[in-house]
Structure 1
Amino acid sequence: MASPLELNCWGGGWGLPSVHAECLVVMAYGRFSGAPLKMNIIDNSWRALRGSVPLLLSDDVVISQPAKILNFLRKQKYNADYELSAKEGADTLAYIALLEEKLHPALLHTFWVEADNYYTVTKPWFGSRIPFPLNWYLPGKMSREALNRIFVTKGGPPLCSLTEIEAQIYRDAKECLNLLSSRLGTLPFFFGNMPTTLDAFVFGFLAPLYKVQFPKVQLQDHLKQLPNLCRFCDDILSCYFRLNVTGISPAGQDPVDANLQKLIQLVNKESNLIEKMDDNLRKSPQHPPRKLTTLKLSTTGEGSNSVNRLSP
Structure 2
Amino acid sequence: MAAAMELRCWGGDWGLPSVHSESLIVQAYAKFSGAKVKVVPIDWTWKTLTATVPELLCGDSAVQEPTNILNYLRKQRFNADYELTARQGADTMAYIALLEEKLRPALLHTFWVDAENYANLTRPWFASRSPFPLNFLVPSHHANTALSRILLTKGEASLHGITEVEGKIYSDAKECLNLLSYRLGTANYFFGNLPTSLDAFVFGFVAPIYKASLPSSPLQSHLRQLDNLTSFCDNILAVYFSSDRPCPPPPVQETMDANLQKLTQLVNKESNLIEKMDDNLRSSPQHKPHRPDPKPSLASEQSSTPA
TM-score w.r.t. the length of structure 1 is: 0.78
- Residue 278 of structure 2 corresponds to none
Pair 122,241 (structure 1): closer, same or farther in 2 beyond 3 Å: same
- Residue 243 of structure 1 corresponds to 243
User: Where in structure 2 are the equivalents of 1:27-42 lying within 5 Å?
Assistant: 27-42=27-42
Pair 207,87 (structure 1): closer, same or farther in 2 beyond 3 Å: same
- Pairwise CA RMSD: 1.4
Q: CA deviation at 1:45?
A: 1.3
Q: CA deviation at 1:249?
A: 5.3
Q: CA deviation at 1:146?
A: 0.3
Query: Partners in 2 of 1:50 and 1:58 — Cα distance?
Result: 20
- Retained in 2: the 8 A contact 1:8–1:55? yes
Paired residue total: 249
- Residue 221 of structure 2 corresponds to 221
Please state whether the residue corresponding to 1:119 is helix, strand or coil: helix
- Retained in 2: the 8 A contact 1:156–1:162? no
Pair 166,185 (structure 1): closer, same or farther in 2 beyond 3 Å: same
Q: CA deviation at 1:51?
A: 2.1
State the percentage of identical aligned residues: 60
Bigger Rg, structure 1 or 2:
2
Structure 2 alignment gaps of length 5 or more: 250-307
- Residue 43 of structure 2 corresponds to 43
Please state whether the residue corresponding to 2:193 is helix, strand or coil: coil
Query: Partners in 2 of 1:30 and 1:107 — Cα distance?
Result: 23
- Retained in 1: the 8 A contact 2:49–2:138? no
1:36-81 per-position Cα deviation (integer Å, ceiling 9, x unaligned): 0001111101233442100000111111000000000000000000
- Residue 293 of structure 1 corresponds to none
- Residue 115 of structure 1 corresponds to 115
Please state whether the residue corresponding to 1:243 is helix, strand or coil: helix
- Residue 95 of structure 2 corresponds to 95
- Retained in 1: the 8 A contact 2:48–2:138? no
1:116-165 per-position Cα deviation (integer Å, ceiling 9, x unaligned): 00010000000000110011112101101100000110016654343220
- Retained in 2: the 8 A contact 1:56–1:62? yes
Higher relative contact order (CA 8 A, sep 6+): 1
- Residue 141 of structure 1 corresponds to 141
- Retained in 1: the 8 A contact 2:44–2:129? yes
Query: Partners in 2 of 1:9 and 1:87 — Cα distance?
Result: 32
Please state whether the residue corresponding to 1:151 is helix, strand or coil: helix
Please state whether the residue corresponding to 1:62 is helix, strand or coil: strand
Structure 1 alignment gaps of length 5 or more: 251-312
- Retained in 2: the 8 A contact 1:25–1:201? yes
Query: Partners in 2 of 1:63 and 1:48 — Cα distance?
Result: 18
- Retained in 1: the 8 A contact 2:170–2:219? yes
Please state whether the residue corresponding to 1:137 is helix, strand or coil: helix
Query: Partners in 2 of 1:49 and 1:158 — Cα distance?
Result: 28
Query: Partners in 1 of 2:147 and 2:222 — Cα distance?
Result: 23
User: Where in structure 2 are the equivalents of 1:11-22 lying within 5 Å?
Assistant: 11-22=11-22
